[in-house]
Amino acid sequence: MREDAHTELKGRIAAARSLFVLTGAGMSAESGIATFRDAMTGLWSHFDPAQLASEQGFRADPARVWDWYAERRAGVRAAQPNAGHLALGAFARRRPGVLTLVSQNVDDLHQRAGNTDTIRLHGDIQHDQWLDRCARTPACAASEAQPGRPPQCARCGNLVRPGVVWFGEMLPPDAVAAAERAARGCDVALIVGTSGAVWPAAGLASLARRHGVWVAIVNPSTSEIDEDAQVVLRGTAAQVLPPLLAP
């Protein structure tokens, strides 16, 4: 990127009353968390993704899906926020009320770096929820689940599943609405570490651009939404964000 373009973007961020940031799998990959596709190696390489990330796949073989997510959860717990996560956390502390952070990632690295109010489009891999809505009155409490692969309610037999958005499921409507509202109303939008191939998150850059927002993409390689940005920064989040967001 040209030095004058970097200087202009940094100046726009410094002057912004509202900064929108969308992060994707590339951001977490820098902390050693495998992307969804990369996680399907070794023991899991012969499975179709829909077998491991769908309600149908879970119902067909709950133990197999639970074990795969247990492995991914362990990877998340072992990972640490990288310099990009820390730069966003520092920016939010330094300029309260300016940053709206939206993530496609299901890990908790943004939260551990200080962005506890991150809008999570695809859920939380460390969170558990019931597979089915409990038909009992009062409803069974999650604490009633008995340990297992997966845990199961001793009263009604309901299974526990990971609290992530699976193939064929809708994204949380409140999270989507909040993300779209922030993208439309911000002064500057940074799209970080995403291929731009997963919708509806991929549409947030063009939504911002249509509303007159200055859009910048941070990614080491080309993405499907590069044309939506005024500026494209070729680099990783850990490389680009610290100097870009520094005071």
| pLDDT tens, residue by residue, 184-242 | 999 999 999 998 888 888 899 999 999 999 999 999 999 898 899 999 999 999 999 99
Q: Are 185 and 159 in contact (CB under 8 A)?
A: no
Q: Is the predicted pLDDT of residue 1 greater than 60, yes or no?
A: no
pLDDT digits (tens, 9 = 90+) for 98-133: 999 999 999 999 999 999 999 999 999 999 999 998
Cα separation, 68 vs 198, whole angstroms: 22
Would you say the C-alpha torsion 168, 104, 152, 147 has a positive or negative sign?
positive
Domains of the chain in start order, with CATH, are: 1-33+80-122+171-247 (3.40.50.1220), 39-78+125-164 (3.30.1600)
User: Burial code of 144-177, b = ≥16 C-beta within 10 A, e = fewer?
Assistant: ebeeeebbbbeeeebbbbbbbbbeeeebbeebbe
Out of 6, 46, 85, 122, pick the active-site residue: 122
Provide, rounded to the nearest whole percent, the portion of the chain with pLDDT above 90: 75
Report the candidate in 172, 148, 152 with the shortest Cα–Cα distance to residue 160.
Answer: 152
Is 127 annotated in the active site? no
Lowest mean pLDDT among 5-14, 140-149, 222-231: 140-149
Supply the mean pLDDT for the chain: 91
Q: Taking residues 175-185, what's their average pLDDT? A: 97
**Contacts (Cβ under 8 Å, ≥6 apart) of 134:** 140, 153, 156, 158
* 182-184-186-187 Cα dihedral, nearest 10 degrees: 160
Residue 39: per-residue pLDDT? 64
Residue 137: per-residue pLDDT? 66
Q: Please provide the size of the chain in residues.
A: 247
Q: Is the predicted pLDDT of residue 2 greater than 60, yes or no?
A: no
| Predicted TM-score (pTM) of this structure | 0.92
Residue 179: per-residue pLDDT? 98
Phi, psi of 61 (to 5 degrees): -150, 75
pLDDT digits (tens, 9 = 90+) for 12-62: 999 999 999 999 999 999 999 987 777 666 656 677 888 899 999 999 999
Q: Is the predicted pLDDT of residue 143 greater than 80, yes or no?
A: no
